Amino acid sequence: MKKIGIFYGSTTGTTKEVAEQIADCLGVDEADVHDVASTAPSAVGDYDVLVIGASTWDAGDLQDDMATFLDGVQSLDLRGKEVAIFGCGDDSMRDTFCNSVGEIYHKLHATHPDFIGPFNNEGFEYNHSESDVKGMIVGLCIDNVNHADETLSRIREWCADIKQEIC
């Protein structure tokens, strides 16, 4: 069984809650769920599968703690690791919805992991998102502001997909 580590950056607690729900769905122990504000980037080396998530702020910026964490991770070689990305946003921010998902993807691309867990953004209304890379949404997007009623079902569906991919 592959060892899964969840790494999240959260300012208001929403992304932390989503990370905990993902951990529950994937059967990940609490000790393997990491707030990147207090986690060294080298901790990703302990895992086969990395589930990484953050919120989107201001004009589409990555959450501060995650930005700093990824600066360290970018110096690592993630070949042989699988990476799934999730992010929290607000689809009323029409030009930057869940940009964090795309930012994480782009920052980790040069570390050569195998990206898993693409997901659809059906039901959201936005003009642009960095999470859309060449017509594919590269991770799970969550909007607890406007679509909180869909959060748990989206997480469950995404986690079921992840389980299929890592088997």
**Domains of the chain with CATH codes:** 4-166 (3.40.50.360)
The amino acid at 54: A
For residue 131, CA distances in Å to 65, 88, 121, 147, 158 come to 19, 11, 9, 18, 15
Per-residue pLDDT, averaged over 30-58, amounts to: 96
pLDDT-derived band at 87, boundaries 50, 70, 90? very high
Q: pLDDT per residue over 105-143, tens digit each? A: 999 999 999 999 999 888 877 787 888 887 778 999 998
Q: Is the pLDDT of residue 158 over 90?
A: yes
For residue 79, CA distances in Å to 98, 134, 136, 154 come to 26, 22, 22, 28
**Using the 8-state DSSP alphabet, how is residue 52 labeled?**
E
Per-residue pLDDT, averaged over 131-157, amounts to: 90
Q: pLDDT per residue over 7-25, tens digit each? A: 999 999 999 999 999 999 9
Distance CA 61, CA 96 (A): 8
**Using the 8-state DSSP alphabet, how is residue 49 labeled?**
E
Residue 119 in tokens: 């997901």
Distance CA 145, CA 1 (A): 35
pLDDT the model gives residue 22: 98
pLDDT the model gives residue 43: 98
The mean pLDDT of the chain is 93
Contact 66, 77 (CB under 8 A): no
Distance CA 57, CA 107 (A): 17
In sequence order, the β-bridge partners of residue 115 are: 83
pLDDT the model gives residue 132: 83
pLDDT the model gives residue 25: 97
Which percentage of the chain shows pLDDT scores above 90? 74
